Chain A
């Protein structure tokens, strides 16, 4: 599992705008009495390599100054991940609120990529704990979740099936077919 953390000074006077921008991005809704709410996808889902968990948050560090804290745990190479992030218009909009250089020019994808991919700007994490074992990818987690859901559904109706029908339905489960194709 790759991981990266980047902390960037927010430009003076832009903190409230940045917080509004972040709060306006699609996010998980709270569950209701009827169950999980429909969750609109984050603009970064699918645009970036698979992400275990990622966050943007404005924090206050020395002298109570605001900083943008971005961190992510993901699959794949760090530079490739950050390149993909820099290519999204939302990332450019977010980091446009930050102090990346003294030139005063509008932030471009290229300049953001240069900043994000410079390992001098990465903050090494001293200690990380993950419930998902290192090496297990998001795709593997999601495959396992699909298998669990499909097997659970088959188990619920297995009593109504004869052995031949059960074997047939089991082999027809998409997650089981995916397992068989891996063999």
Chain B
């Protein structure tokens, strides 16, 4: 793992035998509902996570896991393990040498071993963006759009009052 504007891990793990249905079931559930991943999304740190079976889903022998996040690489995996130990067991319990999510020191050390890092990585998001800032910006925009729509042909005094309301409503997003 290396710290950049966006953290990146590419973890490659070998599967135990006969884990196909277990993983396909978990992934199907994950696609149908975000209940399993919701605690992680609520941290507003993770930007992307992707699980791919290799060589294919019919007879998988390896699990590839990619993730990007913004923040400290010292805390991302430990936090991930601490808030979602059951999910880690569900997925990586299907792989060889998984030490368990807790204690997170063992998990962190294991991820260091299985992480291939990135040879080259890029994103076209503006410099300085982070998962949290992007979430704030996307939440802010419709509120400003409504403000713009409501501000047509009103007096300066009324504008001033509405502006103060806007500031109060969105200051946590700016």
- Count of residues in B whose CB is under 8 Å from the partner chain: 73
Taking a contact as CB atoms under 8 Å apart, the answer to whether A39 and B5 are in contact is yes
User: Bound state CA distance, A158 and B170, in angstroms?
Assistant: 15
**In angstroms, how far is the closest chain B Cβ from the Cβ of A65?**
12
> By the criterion CB–CB under 8 Å, are B122 and A45 in contact?
yes
CA distance A23 to B160 in the complex (A): 53
Question: Would A167 and B27 be within 8 Å (CB), given that A3-B50, A125-B50 are in contact?
Answer: no
> Could you tell me if A71 and B50 are in contact, using CB atoms closer than 8 angstroms?
yes
On whether the beta carbons of A145 and B134 are closer than 8 Å, the reply is yes
B69 CB to nearest chain A CB (Å): 9
- Binary A-proximity of B51-85 (CB < 8 A = 1, otherwise 0): 11110110001101010100000000000000000
Tell which of B10, B137, B170 touches A141, judged by Cβ atoms closer than 8 Å. B137
The interface residues of chain B lying within 8 Å CB-to-CB of A46 are 124
What is the interface residue range for chain A against chain B? Answer: 35 or more
Given A61-B62, A127-B30, A167-B151, is A141 in contact with B159 using a C-beta cutoff of 8 Å? no
A51-B124 contact given A126-B52, A145-B129, A167-B156, CB 8 Å threshold: yes
- The total number of A-B Cβ pairs within 8 Å is 218
Contacts from A to B (Cβ < 8 Å): 3, 5, 7, 18-19, 22-23, 25, 27-31, 36, 39, 41-42, 44-46, 50-62, 69, 71, 73, 123-133, 136, 138, 140-148, 151-152, 155, 158, 162-164, 166-167, 170, 176, 179-180, 183
Residues on B lying within 8 angstroms of A by beta carbon are 2-6, 8, 10, 12, 23-24, 26-27, 30-31, 34, 37, 40-41, 44, 46-54, 56-57, 61-62, 64, 66, 68, 116-129, 131, 133-138, 140-141, 144-145, 148-149, 151, 156-157, 159-160, 163, 167, 170-171, 173-174
